[in-house]
Amino acid sequence: MQIINTVSDLRKAIKIWRDSGETVAFVPTMGNLHAGHLQLVSQAKEKADRVVVSIFVNPTQFGVGEDFEAYPRTELEDQQKLEDACVDLLFLPAVADIYALDALTTITVAGVSEDYCGAFRPGHFSGVATVVCKLLNIVQPNMILLGLKDFQQLTVIKMMVRDLNIPVEIIAVETVREPNGLAMSSRNGYLTEEEKKIAAQLYKTLCGARDAILAGAKDYIEVEQQALRVLQQAGFLVDYFSVCRGSDLKKAKPEDVDLVLLVAAKLGKTRLIDNIYFYK
């Protein structure tokens, strides 16, 4: 596995592959890798000749009081996991390699960034969109693989790629879960063992709401309120639980058929997000 730190060296390496007609898949990460990330890598290896993974803890997507400095950095362990997964190239840039000191340009995807996590984390999705656009411009892959767990983030990136005519295929990969249903996340490491058991209620509540809708429930406000009650009783401080259209994250109506249930809630000091995407 090549480990490259600069944009110029990365482009030289990828040009060799392109000149020989090989396809490139890209998996962007912030490190602290778990089975969910490795599932993205596995899918990438099936779909492309070469796989590039980036590890970059992006400062612009962290808000005031969030955990940028405390965000877990496990570079050596991550490198070994990617080596074992037969990744071709690991891109490990410094902040100065991605952002010029006097950078003035940011990207905001209106309409899908303001609500849900966007309302609780102002500027977060602008930071996400900007860094993903920059990484796509740097790597110029044939495809990018992203997890469905961050459904709003996935939607923001899809809209950005569409609106800016970026020539890349987006491949969404199913969420990898713990045996109790808890979605794998780098932030799960903040949970105590007792909190991990309680955290499983998040996915159970999503499944219950989905099953109620599939069984014919049409009052989505009542579905949301019931889910809120269940989570609050379990000990969560809920930011939101929403029944949305899968295509644009607008509030779902009974006639909509592609639905996503979005939830974000705090358990102790840890903020967790999850979702279920389904057709009825």
User: Model's pTM, two decimal places?
Assistant: 0.95
Backbone angles phi, psi at 11, to 5 degrees: -65, -35
**pLDDT tens-digit profile of 196-207?**
999 999 999 999
Backbone phi and psi for residue 154, each to the nearest 5 degrees, phi listed first: -60, -40
- 48's CB contacts (< 8 A; 6+ apart) are 22, 23, 24, 25, 141, 142, 143
Rounded CA gap, 192 and 30, in Å? Answer: 22
CA atoms 222, 226, 227, 232: torsion sign: positive
For each of the chain's 280 residues, which pLDDT tens digit applies?
999 999 999 999 999 999 999 999 999 999 999 999 999 999 999 999 999 999 999 999 998 777 788 788 999 999 999 999 999 999 999 999 999 999 999 999 999 999 999 999 999 999 999 999 999 999 999 999 999 999 999 999 999 999 999 999 999 999 999 999 999 998 898 899 999 999 999 999 999 999 999 999 999 999 999 999 999 999 999 999 999 999 999 999 999 999 999 999 999 999 999 999 999 8
> Long-range contacts of range 15-22, CB-CB < 8 Å, 24 or more positions apart?
17/49, 17/50, 22/48, 22/49, 22/50
| CA 135 to chain CA centroid, nearest Å | 15
E-strand ranges in the chain read: 2-4, 24-29, 50-55, 89-91, 143-147, 169-173, 237-245, 258-267, 270-279
Cα dihedral 150, 152, 153, 155 sign: positive
Please tell me the distance from the alpha carbon of residue 173 to that of residue 214, in angstroms, as a whole number. 23
Domains of the chain in start order, with CATH, are: 2-173 (3.40.50.620), 186-279 (3.30.1300.10)
DSSP-derived letter for residue 190 is: G
37 is catalytic: yes
Whole-number Å distance between alpha carbons of 71 and 190? 10
Indicate which residue of 28, 36, 37, 231 is catalytic.
37
Q: What are phi and psi of 207, to 5 degrees?
A: -65, -40
